[in-house]
Amino acid sequence: MPTRRQMLALGGGGVAALIAPPIVHAAQVEEIGMRGRARGEHVWFTPAGLAVAQGTLLRFVNHDAGNSHTATCYHPALFDRPQRIPEGATPWDSGFLLPGEAFEVRLTVPGVYDYYCIPHEHAAMVGRIVVGRPGDHGWLGAAVGAGDLPDVALIGFPAVEAILGAGRVMAPGQS
Ligand SMILES: [Cu+2]
């Protein structure tokens, strides 16, 4: 892969820079979609469970034409919710994403991250990201205890073992 400087030298300047594709290492960017049925009776993250390497850039994209969504991790600093991300990880909240909008966050601390959509937590719109693997330095597994989470959210988190085994897990009945 030539460097940007080499590409500029090869292409002779600005035009080459404009047409050159961005240098992105695909394995380090993963997308999680926000989806819903046309009438809004079902909403979900896809995949609902995702395993990634440390340092992966996650991009949440709202593909639901009929709803705004958030991707908000469970953390006391965000609306006083229970902590369900590793110690030392920075809590993140996308804010409301309109249809077509996206939010990116890079996860560097290994462990299990549970998150939800603020307006749809009670419609089971939750997800789980596993960063790294058990045994990584500082790895923290899934949160223990229900806290103030509704049952419908608690059963929406795929098992860590299933996520690690398959790499990605879809919400039941969704794609
Ligand atoms: Cu939502």
**Rounded to the nearest whole angstrom, what is the distance from the C-alpha of residue 137 to the centroid of ligand 1?**
33
Q: For residue 15, is pLDDT > 80?
A: no
Q: What is the mean pLDDT of residues 48-61?
A: 97
In a domain, 7, yes or no: no
Looking at residue 97, what is its pLDDT?
A: 98
**Rounded to the nearest whole angstrom, what is the distance from the C-alpha of residue 85 to the centroid of ligand 1?**
20
**Rounded to the nearest whole angstrom, what is the distance from the C-alpha of residue 63 to the centroid of ligand 1?**
11
In a domain, 14, yes or no: no
Looking at residue 12, what is its pLDDT?
A: 44
In a domain, 164, yes or no: yes
In a domain, 80, yes or no: yes
Domain that holds residue 102: 26-169
Kindly list the protein residues that place their beta carbon closer than 5 angstroms to ligand 1, a single-atom ion.
Answer: 43, 69, 117, 120, 125
**Rounded to the nearest whole angstrom, what is the distance from the C-alpha of residue 119 to the centroid of ligand 1?**
6
Q: For residue 140, is pLDDT > 60?
A: yes
**Rounded to the nearest whole angstrom, what is the distance from the C-alpha of residue 61 to the centroid of ligand 1?**
11
**Rounded to the nearest whole angstrom, what is the distance from the C-alpha of residue 154 to the centroid of ligand 1?**
16
Q: What is the CATH number of the domain that holds 112?
A: 2.60.40.420
In a domain, 94, yes or no: yes
Q: For residue 9, is pLDDT > 60?
A: no
Q: What is the mean pLDDT of residues 98-115?
A: 97
Looking at residue 172, what is its pLDDT?
A: 79
Residue 42 vs residue 20, higher pLDDT = 42
Residue of 134, 128, 121 lying closest to 107 (CA atoms): 128
In a domain, 132, yes or no: yes
Looking at residue 43, what is its pLDDT?
A: 95
Residue 60 vs residue 172, higher pLDDT = 60
Which residues, in sequence order, are CB contacts of 56 under 8 Å at separation 6+?
28, 29, 30, 106, 107, 131
| Beta-carbon-side half-sphere exposure of residue 98 (alpha carbons within 13 Å) | 0
Does the bond joining 119 to the residue before it have cis omega, within 30 degrees of 0? no
Q: For residue 164, is pLDDT > 90?
A: yes
Q: For residue 175, is pLDDT > 90?
A: no
DSSP for 26-56 reads GGGEEEEEEEE-TTSS-EEEESSEEEE-TTE
Confidence category of residue 138, pLDDT binned at 50, 70, 90: confident
**Rounded to the nearest whole angstrom, what is the distance from the C-alpha of residue 120 to the centroid of ligand 1?**
5
Q: For residue 158, is pLDDT > 70?
A: yes
Q: How far apart are CA 35 and CA 124, in angstroms?
A: 12
In a domain, 78, yes or no: yes
Domain count within the chain: 1
